[in-house]
Amino acid sequence: MAEKNSDLKLLSAWYSPMATRVKIALNIKGLEYENIEEDLNSKSDLLLRSNPVHKKIPVLIHGDKPICESVLIVQYIDEVWSNGPSILLQDAYDRAIARFWVSYIDEKLFVCTMSILEAGEDEEQKKPHFEQLEEEILVRLEEAFNKYSEGKSFFGGNKIGLIDIMFGSFLPVLGLIEEINGKKVLVDDKFPGLVNWAANFTANSAVTGTLPEIDRLILFAKAQQQKWALAYKATSAN
């Protein structure tokens, strides 16, 4: 049951993987919040006041205190509402390893998927980014999952942790890329661990109903055309 907290507001955009991260963390902790949908083509005064440096979403407003950047927000939620299920691992070394992979996801996966979207229908421009995605990024993440999950459902073991939230927020983006390019990327014969992980992640009660629907993303992407990549880029990269 969600804990009532009228002091929590989230500035977000429905298609943003970065905002999705915060929503999942709030769900894990069982917190109620007011979700304020931002139009990034016409940013609200509240967003500009709350994040005057980057002017990006997501922003969590706790009382009158804004917290920016999805990774920092998730860690803030875990620390402030420590009575709920833990998101970060207890061991300092394990937390450092998780933060390393979070950085890898945002530095590699975010940039690579954005480059594919920006390329539009230019197959030659997309080719090296698809190669990087399939032959480097997902290979590394498959190896990391097999190493750190220890045969369990999630990167964090038996429950969703920091890496799961950060990577899982990109599953709709990967689905969008697969649909608009007519090719599967996350396939069982190459990435069996990640395929099983993705199924467990999307079925989790904290995630269900939080990830944007692929069909809606496709319609949005087609309507926006090149503006899609700009809108995607306008969300916080961390």
pLDDT at 40: 86
DSSP the chain: -PBP-TTEEEEE-TT-HHHHHHHHHHHHTTB--EEEE--TTS--HHHHHHSTTT--S-EEEETTEEEESHHHHHHHHHHHTTTS--SS-SSHHHHHHHHHHHHHIIIIIHHHHHHHHHHTT-HHHHHHHHHHIIIIIHHHHHHHHHHHSTTSSBTTBSS--HHHHHHHTTHHHHHHHHHHHT--SS-TTT-HHHHHHHHHHHHSTTTTTTSPPHHHHHHHHHHHTHHHHHHHHTS---
Q: Is the peptide bond before 128 cis (omega within 30 degrees of 0)?
A: no
Q: 205: which 2 tokens?
A: 């009660």
pTM of the model: 0.91
pLDDT on residue 229: 55
Res 35: pLDDT: 97
Q: Which amino acid is at 52?
A: P
As a whole number of angstroms, the distance between CA 115 and CA 96 comes to: 28
Give the domains, in start order, of the chain with CATH numbers: 8-81 (3.40.30.10), 92-217 (1.20.1050.10)
pLDDT of residue 233: 59
pLDDT at 119: 84
Task: Collect the ranges in the chain with pLDDT lower than 70.
Answer: 1-6, 224-238
pLDDT of residue 219: 86
Q: What is the reported pLDDT for 1?
A: 41
